Amino acid sequence: MSAANRSQPIKLNRPVVGKARKLKDLMLKSDNRVCADCSAPDPKWASSNIGVFLCLKCGDVHRALGQDISNVLSLTLDDWSDSDIDSMIEVGGNSYANSIYEAFLPKDHPKPKPDSPMEYRTKFIRAKYETQDFLKPSLRISSKAGLESTNSLNSVDNSFSSTSRKHAPEDTREFVGQLNITVVKGSGLAVRDMLTSDPYVVLSLGEQKAQTTVKASDLNPVWNEVLNLSVPRNYGPLKLEVYDHDTFSADDIMGEAEIDLKPMITAAMAFGDPSRHADMQIGRWFMTRDNCLLSDSIVNISSGKVKQEVYLKLQNVESGEMELELEWARLD
C-alpha cells in the first residue's frame, strides 16, 4: 500500500471520529459480531480488502494466504488507513461478502465451527477465498488484485452501488434498472378494526410509491399484484408498509419492513444478461437479527430473469408476515 494511503492512520482503540466512527458502526451490526468464516463471537480481526470480520484462528489462516489475497488487520492494535476503512464500508461486512463468496456453497459442505480443527478451517478458507470454489467461475477474482478496488469484491457492483462510485464511469442516467415486485400475500396480519382489518400495501423507493388494492376484512390477504418501481443510481432500501383502510379516519399502520436491494443488484450486475444463463442461484441476502427476514433470501436466475423470493416479518407491530417476489431488469 502506498505511503499516501497510510499518511493518516486511524487506531480503533482511540476515540472514534469520522471514518473510524463508520467502521465502528459497521462492527456493531449483529452479523459482523461473529466471524465471517466460523461464526465465533466477538471477532477482533478483519480482512480489509475482502471486507469481513474474523476471529483469531480464521485470521491466522487468512494471514497465511498472503496479503495479495487477504489483508488482515487487528481491530484494536493496528493502524487503519482511510482506504482500509473505505474498503470495509464499501463491501458492507460479513453478510454482503458471504452473499458473494458463499453463493454456491454446497449443502454438504458445512462451514467450520468455532471449535473446528485447524485443518478443516484452513481447507474451507482456502476454498472460499483462494480458489473461490463457491463462486461462479466467471466471477472469480484475481488473487493479484486483493488490494486493487477495480478487481476486488466491491467492484462487482461498483457502478451501481449505493456507496462509493469513485471508480465508476461517468453516467448521468437517473435510473439504472427496474423492479417488478409481486406482492404475493400477507399472513397473520394485525387487527385494527373490531375483529379484522382492511389491509393494503405501500412500497416506497426513494421518492416513488406504489400501492396494492385494499383487501376487505382479511387478515390473511392474497394479492398476487405486480407493482413497478424504477431503481435510482443512488438506491436505498425498498420500504414496505401495510395499512388498514378506514373510511372516516386516517388509515392505521399495520407494520413495516425494509428490503435490502444490494445483494440482488450486486449479483445481477455481475452476471450480466440473465437470458444467456441456465437457471441457477447467483446470490443470497442473509437473515440476521438486524433485518426482518424470516429466512435467507435467495437470488436466482429463473427462465432468463433475475428473481428473489422474500419472506418478511413485519416490524413495529404485534403480528404479521409478508411474502414478495422481486424481479430485476437492467436499463441498457
- Look up the CATH number of the domain holding residue 317: 2.60.40.150
pLDDT, mean of residues 226-234:
91
Taking the alpha carbons of 93, 97, 102, 103 in that order, is the dihedral positive or negative?
Answer: positive
Residues 130 and 179 both lie in one domain: no
Q: What is the mean pLDDT of the chain?
A: 84
**Alpha-carbon span 152 to 134, nearest angstrom:** 16
| pLDDT number for residue 323 | 98
Residue 148 lies in a domain: no
Return the minimum-mean-pLDDT range out of 5-14, 68-77, 106-115, 214-223. Answer: 5-14
Residue 187 lies in a domain: yes
pLDDT, mean of residues 283-300:
89
Q: Are 203 and 227 in contact (CB under 8 A)?
A: yes
For residue 192, what pLDDT band results from cuts at 50, 70 and 90? very high
Long-range contacts of 52-58 (CB under 8 A, 24+ apart): 52/91, 52/93, 52/94, 52/97, 52/98, 53/27, 53/93, 53/94, 55/114, 57/114, 57/118, 57/121, 58/112, 58/121, 58/125
Residues 288 and 179 both lie in one domain: yes
Residue 294 lies in a domain: yes
162 pLDDT above the threshold of 60: no
Between 79 and 12, residue with greater pLDDT: 79
Grid coordinates representing 3 are 505511503
For residue 140, what pLDDT band results from cuts at 50, 70 and 90? low
For residue 100, what pLDDT band results from cuts at 50, 70 and 90? confident
pLDDT, mean of residues 259-283:
87
226 pLDDT above the threshold of 80: yes
**Tally of CB atoms within 10 A around 228:** 13
60 pLDDT above the threshold of 60: yes
Residue 146 lies in a domain: no
Domains held by the chain: number: 2
How many Cα atoms are found within 13 Å in the side-chain-facing hemisphere of 229?
A: 25
Return the minimum-mean-pLDDT range out of 14-18, 60-64, 176-180, 306-310. Answer: 14-18
Sheet holding 305-313, edge to edge: 222-232, 175-187, 321-330, 305-313, 297-302, 280-285
Residues 126 and 185 both lie in one domain: no
Grid coordinates representing 194 are 373490531
277 pLDDT above the threshold of 50: yes
| pLDDT number for residue 57 | 96
CATH code where residue 108 lies: 1.10.220.150
For residue 106, what pLDDT band results from cuts at 50, 70 and 90? confident
